[in-house]
Amino acid sequence: MEDSADIALSLGAALRQGGMAVQLATDGLQADACLQPGHGFDAVLLDLQLPGQDGLSVLQALRSRGDAVAVLVLTARASVPDRVLGLNMGADDYLPKPFDLTELEARLQVLLRRHGRNKSAALRWGPLEMQPDGSACQWQGQVLALTKREAAALRVLMASPERTVSKEQLHAEVFADEATGLDAVEVLIYRLRKKLEAAALAQSGSAQVLITTFRGMGYMLTSPAGMA
């Protein structure tokens, strides 16, 4: 949960490249909605300066529900009283901005181990399964021959199934700092969709389309009837 959309996208992309499934929220109300009972997250990165509802309020509400999920607070507030307040309200760790990504990842791994969690489990959606490091993807047990970018795009979609992922987000997470336009995302999704259709056709005799395009909004990983 990060107050800057650009930082949130970059941070999400970096963590996904490290093999984690990530869901982003850029305001406190959205963060609180994501953290309702049954959310299934292993850890939460929480910015204290979220708009709409500040991070401390989100944290307080989370703990008041008896939720013990690991929470790592990110904030520009570097004073000791602020850090103590966050920790006393239930934060597990505190990392002031600006921070180094390697330190953030290391602290996350410590929290996950402390809470009895390893790296995120394999992503699954219908007939698809992807290992947490994104190195292999299978369709009903058969390995799909995906390029690195295709696998990266699919991992982003599988991390948020039945949620629209914008073309801009996919571009930021798959192409990073490369000098490519948004049209590259359309080409990438076209190729990925064709490979998924071919895999479905080979195993079930019908070309199931799992990636749906929503004009002006982005792409969504959907579940064909009987495949969820």
Give residue 188's pLDDT: 94
CB 54 within 8 A of CB 28: yes
Give residue 191's pLDDT: 94
Give residue 87's pLDDT: 79
Give residue 132's pLDDT: 63
Q: What is the mean pLDDT of each successive set of 10 residues along the chain, which is 228 residues long?
A: 67 77 85 89 88 89 90 78 77 85 84 68 79 73 87 85 85 77 92 89 70 89 62
CB 89 within 8 A of CB 60: yes
The residue ranges of DSSP E strands in the chain, in sequence order, are 43-47, 70-75, 93-96, 123-125, 128-130, 137-139, 142-143, 211-214, 218-221
Give residue 228's pLDDT: 44
Give residue 221's pLDDT: 87
Give residue 2's pLDDT: 52
> The pTM is what?
0.53
